[in-house]
Chain A
């Protein structure tokens, strides 16, 4: 098999052509076009003009509003990624260890939220978290609070919604990365006198770190580029990079500035990927 493949580079190239074409035409070309657009000057009314300028990047770097946006986006992504990790890790570990004919079904169950559109899920959270939602109604009914606790249209709501929307991705990545975990290693630790907690801390957790890094990388990138959830659960009061791109591109119609913001997010992606690659190598040792 492997020899055949080495002997027929033309066949290999031919077979990867469709995928290469799809990525080239559907992804690389638009991204390059977007990058080009971020250097286009724009009129005060937003109209795009021909030419080259660094104006939009200068604006991103000097206007503290964008610095706060970036910081807020990073914070929100970190918090929701951590949330998804804390909720998803036990689920993934449980599913990984499960030896049951129901395993496949339970794995499907863990990722079935992906079948529902993000918009629908966001509205679902509004029903639960809103001022007249289930949680506030219950707390009020129990006489624990007089006024509703604000759980949507603020950062709390966005964090909860993002965490939930990341959870299937986190669970899947962890499941995929847990392969190195061997029940025998945990048993060996137990026979050597390690309590269940110490077995987890010294054996299970270190061996699952590559999976954790993988899951966190994917989720962090998904979170930082998430738009629907922050938009709907933030109620226009939570400003993040992704929502700002939407504002600039579709409401202010300043496409070059939106493009520059998108390039900034891409740069952050690259940084996260490089950092995660380094981390991955360290924890995989």
Chain B
């Protein structure tokens, strides 16, 4: 359960643009006070539409949005008291940094003197003091990002909505901003909804992740739950790297590839086809003792990890080792290996349950 009870609640939220499948399809989600929830999914999964419905920028076809039990659904955006950071930051190009940040305070009729001190405080929070008089276009991408964040926070919103705020930054800055956003969010204790297509971002930032697929909630859970116990093959594939192995259950319900019996905890219906999913770092390679035998087809060194591709009768998979672990050295293409994994690390998805 969300800490502190439901602060923001989405109840049966739908958005149907009238062409194709609904963008958001009966979404139920409860977010606790001070919680940081990531809406994660590929483009077109409805995550941004959901965020825009919370902001009031898109009108839901059906369903309700509740904040502390108050129905927000019919409230216009400008009466919702939300802070939103847009993907392209949406800073007002005709205003200085200080005026950008002060905009929300001005709209609330806050006196000039108080506004000035709150703007200074907000800019200090994002470590941008001294740039008040600059125009947005004279700032770097990272600085613009911080202004956008300060502008959203200075109004002391009930909700902070972040729409892929890091996607326009380079990799290094992204990681830095990630930590900073998390830190500020914790310090202010502000309920936050964060939209991203980057699973690493969601795992690193969120208290809970809502994985969305085709307008629906595929899984809701903590980063550990999502990563280690994905509820569907889609979630397993989307969050982290995974090996998907096509297996068949015998009359005893035990899964086999070719003739080899697989080590899994969960049984499958007798005779069913199933997908067995194992993370690359859980794959064990040895000269004997595994459940499958094959040979190495390639070794790819990518810095902190090394990927070892293995193929055998009816399967192909990739194992991953940290390069600090010496066990991969000496492995070369063509070499025969025995492949296994701890039974707990494998997830079984019978094809009937998958439905696709």
Contacts and interface: CB of A to CB of B under 8 A. Distances in A.
Interface of A: 180, 182, 184-185, 187-196, 198-199, 202-203, 206-207, 285
Given A189-B103, A191-B84, A182 B90 contact: yes
Contacts, number: 67
A190 B92 CA distance: 12
B107 A207 contact: no
A194 B108 CA distance: 8
Contacts of A203: 92
A285 B94 contact: yes
A206 B77 CA distance: 21
A141 to B, nearest CB: 44
Given A182-B90, A206-B94, A190 B57 contact: yes
A191 B83 contact: yes
Contacts of B88: 182, 184
A199 B78 CA distance: 10
Interface string B43-62: 00000000000011100000
A203 B107 CA distance: 12
Contact of B78 (A184, A185, A193): A193
B90 A187 contact: yes
A193 B86 contact: no
A185 to B, nearest CB: 5
Contacts of A190: 56-57, 76-78
A195 B78 contact: yes
Contact of B77 (A191, A198, A207): A191
Contacts of B161: 191
A122 to B, nearest CB: 40
B159 to A, nearest CB: 10
B181 interface: no
B104 A192 contact: yes
11 contacts: A182-B90, A187-B57, A188-B84, A189-B103, A190-B57, A190-B77, A191-B77, A191-B80, A191-B84, A193-B108, A194-B107
Contacts of B93: 180, 185, 207
A87 B80 CA distance: 33
Nearest to A188: B90
A182 B93 CA distance: 10
A185 B108 CA distance: 18
Contacts of A189: 92, 103
A278 B103 CA distance: 28
B153 to A, nearest CB: 11
Closest CB pairs A-B (n = 9): A192-B104, A193-B107, A188-B90, A190-B77, A184-B90, A191-B84, A194-B107, A193-B78, A206-B94
Interface string B299-340: 000000000000000000000000000000000000000000
**Size band of the interface chain B makes with A:** 20 to 34
A187 B77 CA distance: 9
Contacts of B64: none
B151 interface: yes
B257 interface: no
B203 interface: no
A191 B107 CA distance: 11
Nearest to A185: B90
Contacts of B24: none
Contacts of B261: none
A188 B83 contact: no
Nearest to B107: A193
Most interface-central of B77, B91, B108 (chain A CB within 10 A): B77
Nearest to B151: A192
B284 interface: no
Contact of A192 (B94, B103, B135): B103
Most interface-central of A185, A189, A193, A196 (chain B CB within 10 A): A193
B203 to A, nearest CB: 27
B155 interface: yes
A193 B104 contact: yes
B125 interface: no
B94 A184 contact: no
Given A190-B78, A193-B78, A207-B94, A184 B107 contact: no
Contacts of B151: 188, 192
A191 B55 CA distance: 7
A193 B94 contact: no
Contacts of B90: 182, 184-185, 187-188
Given A185-B92, A187-B57, A189-B103, A194 B78 contact: yes
Interface in B56-109: 56-57, 76-84, 86, 88, 90-94, 103-104, 107-108
Most interface-central of A192, A193, A199, A206 (chain B CB within 10 A): A192
A157 to B, nearest CB: 39
Contacts of B135: 285
Contacts of B80: 191
